[in-house]
Structure 1
Amino acid sequence: MIDFKELSAYAAAFTCSENELLHKMEKKAADIYIPIMQPSAMAFLQQLIRWTNAQRILELGTAIGYSSIRMALVTGGGTKIITVERDPAMIEEATQNIKALNLQDSIQIVDGDATEDLPEVHASAPYDLILIDAAKAQYEHLFQKCAGLLSDKGIIVTDNVFFHGLVCDIDAVKKRQLNRLVKKVDEYNHFLSEQPDFDTLFLTIGDGMAVSTKKTFTAHEGER
């Protein structure tokens, strides 16, 4: 049987960074474990932005600015990205990386907790695409907050929904804190699948991605 990690690595080998700074960010993230999107997941997200021509994007979880930079690069500067981060060190580094590529007009970092109501986030709504990539234990809460900020044809993308494959065998996770977190992610996946107003597709890309779109109801269905 083919190992999923090996297959993911094979797919990732066909992706590449747009510039040297991004390559350095990827290396640093790997060396000291900064949570950034896996290459194949990032490539899919970029393609999704191309397909939908997203003009307003909200990202929850900036880290060092890797995802927001790659999203901005694929749009050619025509998109406004609002990205939320609460870690001061991450904000400082992300700001430096964004300025190094002269993307500060396209990317706005909001200093705050993504689970709270942030005026800067609401001011730029509605969003064509929302990326949830923050605290996994808060995914369900974040989705509920995001749903009201989404445009009618918008998309919510959630990263890391397979959590290194641990969601497939939760009982095998013996560390108590990790086990609770994996259960939270699993509960979130079930929550997504049961949303009456959203259709969600789960993809085996990167560490697992969920793509959620609003359901469209016909006039006949609305009368039921």
Structure 2
Amino acid sequence: MVTIVNPDLDRYIHEHTEPPPALLEELREHTQATHPRAGMQVGRVEGALLRMLIALLQARRVLEIGTFTGYSALSMAEALPPDGELITCERDPDVARVARSFFDRSAHGKKIRIALGDALATIRALPASPEFDLAFIDADKERYPAYYEEVLPRVRRGGLIVADNTLWSGEVLAPETPDGRAIAAFNDLVHRDPRVAHVMLALRDGVTLARKL
């Protein structure tokens, strides 16, 4: 694994980023204590970034692919207006139950709808309108290109697609695993795509922002 940011600098970044609400911190701690793959959880700084993007876009509709225990969904829902909607796709009923238990304790949980099942099937079944203001992709890496192609037509012009893990611990420099090759292919797809303007950030394991033109 490649350390993208010096640990001391990473700690400094955390200390100088707006802290999350108590419920989100509890969710983070619960996930770390109970789930063997807790590293999949979106971190505090990335959660703050997602919340900021929702606010800047004045987003009303959000699509998330990959709920896990719900940290990113709840982070984004906090910045949505009272009548905002966030649809989050998850195939694992166990982590979805954890997410729902925390959503139910939040004043913003009513904005979130968990779509349990295959994410591609869920997306394909969505109506063409209304469009989404932001889509966050953070699920099985081999299907990133497929998610992107399904999501882009459903995002409004000027809206964002945000993709997590786009540096894949540095493996994108010389991909050797199926996930690494899929992420590298996704990165190349976005980079060549004239339908979007894009930027890749060295935040945690890499975050890509693609704005629909």
- Note the residue ranges of structure 1 that are not aligned, 5 or more in a row: 172-178, 216-224
Secondary structure of 2:108's counterpart equals coil
Query: Match of 2:24?
Result: 22
The answer as to whether partners of 2:60 and 2:85 remain within 8 angstroms in 1 is yes
Measure how far apart 1:164 and its partner are: 2.1
| Distance of aligned partners of 1:17 and 1:124 in 2 relative to their CA distance in 1, 3 Å threshold | farther
Measure how far apart 1:126 and its partner are: 0.6
Measure how far apart 1:101 and its partner are: 1.1
Measured on the aligned residues, the alpha-carbon RMSD in Å equals 2.2
TM-score, normalised via structure 2 length: 0.87
- Determine if the alignment matches structure 1 residue 54 to structure 2 residue 55: no
Secondary structure of 2:62's counterpart equals strand
- Determine if the alignment matches structure 1 residue 69 to structure 2 residue 71: no
Q: Which entry has the higher C-alpha Rg, 1 or 2?
A: 1
Of the structure 1 ranges 92-101 and 12-21, higher mean CA displacement relative to structure 2 is found in 12-21
TM-score, normalised via structure 1 length: 0.83
- In structure 2, give the amino acid aligned to 1:22: L
The number of aligned residues is 207
Query: Match of 2:136?
Result: 131
- Determine if the alignment matches structure 1 residue 199 to structure 2 residue 207: no
The answer as to whether partners of 1:154 and 1:214 remain within 8 angstroms in 2 is yes
Measure how far apart 1:85 and its partner are: 0.8
- Note the residue ranges of structure 2 that are not aligned, 5 or more in a row: none
Secondary structure of 1:77's counterpart equals coil
- In structure 1, give the amino acid aligned to 2:72: S
The answer as to whether partners of 1:82 and 1:121 remain within 8 angstroms in 2 is no
Query: Match of 2:5?
Result: 4
CA deviation vs aligned residue, 1:28-82 (integer Å, no higher than 9, x gap): 3334333221222222111111111111111111111111111111235342111
Query: Match of 2:178?
Result: 180
| Aligned residues with identical type, % of pairs | 26
- In structure 1, give the amino acid aligned to 2:164: D
- In structure 2, give the amino acid aligned to 1:70: S
